[in-house]
């Protein structure tokens, strides 16, 4: 049980060499690991950290960009819609005006045609009336001459001829 109490002092004294050896070994290990293991490991961890940082920044940036793009697109779409509406309204108005103009023109035309037709009818009527009058006159003359021819006898005929002859002679 003496060993339990004395521990490393089993050799009877203090192992000064162990102290030195442990110190030197640990310091060498520290230096070597710092150079060959921790340094590169820390480097890659830092690199990854900055990589992740920059990736997050880039993602955030592109998200902002996408957002602003979306906003402008929505704005554009809205504008386009308004424009389209205006164009349609314009076209509708124009169409209506044009339609009205066409209707008016055709109405006028119809009026004109009607007037013309009425005038023609009137002139035709007049012509017809004139023609009818002539015909009637001619017919009545014919009838009258026929009637008269029947009623004239020889004596009166002679008398008439004489009268005509006399008139002719007188006029000479």
Partner 1 sequence: MEHGAVTADFLGLTFNLSNVLMITVSSVIVFLIAVLATRSLSMRPGGMQNFLEWVVDFVKGIINSTMDWHTGGRFLALGLTLIMYIFVSNMLGLPFAVAVDHNLWWKSPTADPTITLTLAVMVVALSHYYGVRMKGVKEYGAEFFKPMKFLFPLKIIEEFANTLTLGLRLYGNIFAGEMLLALLVSLSHSGIFAGVLGIFPMIIWQGFSVFVGAIQAFIFTMLTMVYLAHKVSHDH
Question: Toward partner 1, which CB reaches closer, 30 or 130?
Answer: 30
Cβ atoms of 8 and 15 within 8 Å: the answer is yes
- Residue 63 C-beta: closest distance to partner 1, Å: 23
In angstroms, what is the minimal distance from the CB of 62 to partner 1? 21
DSSP state for residue 80 in the 8-state scheme:
H
Nearer to partner 1 (CB atom), residue 47 or residue 82: 47
Sign, Cα dihedral of 67, 73, 75, 78 = negative
Q: How far is the CB of 45 from partner 1 (least distance, A)?
A: 6
Binding residues vs partner 1 (CB under 8 A): 3-4, 7-11, 13-23, 25-26, 28-30, 32-34, 36-38, 40-45, 47-48, 51
CB of 64 to partner 1, least distance (A): 26
**Minimum CB distance to partner 1 smaller for 10 or for 110:** 10
C-alpha to C-alpha distance for 123 and 133, rounded to whole angstroms: 15
- Which C-beta is closer to partner 1: that of 54 or that of 166? 54
Distance of CA 151 to the CA centre of its chain: 93
Q: Supply φ then ψ for residue 15, to 5 degrees.
A: -85, 80
| Inter-CA distances, 29 with 16, 18, 24, 40, Å | 20, 16, 8, 16
């Amino acid at each position: 049980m003496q060993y339990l109490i004395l521990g490393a002092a089993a050799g009877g004294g203090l192992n000064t060499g162990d102290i030195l050896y442990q110190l030197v070994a640990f310091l060498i290990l520290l230096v070597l690991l710092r150079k060959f293991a921790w340094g590169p490991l820390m480097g890659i961890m830092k690199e990854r950290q900055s990589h992740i940082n920059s990736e997050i920044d880039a993602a955030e940036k592109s998200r902002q960009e996408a957002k602003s793009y979306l906003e402008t697109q929505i704005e554009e779409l809205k504008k386009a819609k308004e424009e389209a509406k205006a164009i349609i309204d314009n076209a509708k108005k124009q169409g209506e005006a044009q339609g009205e103009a066409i209707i008016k023109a055709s109405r006028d035309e119809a009026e004109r045609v009607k007037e013309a037709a009425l005038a023609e009818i009137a002139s035709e009527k007049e012509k017809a009336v004139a023609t009818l009058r002539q015909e009637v006159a001619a017919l009545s003359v014919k009838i009258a001459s026929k009637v008269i021819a029947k009623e004239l006898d020889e004596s009166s005929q002679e008398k008439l001829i004489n009268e005509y002859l006399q008139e002719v002679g007188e006029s000479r």
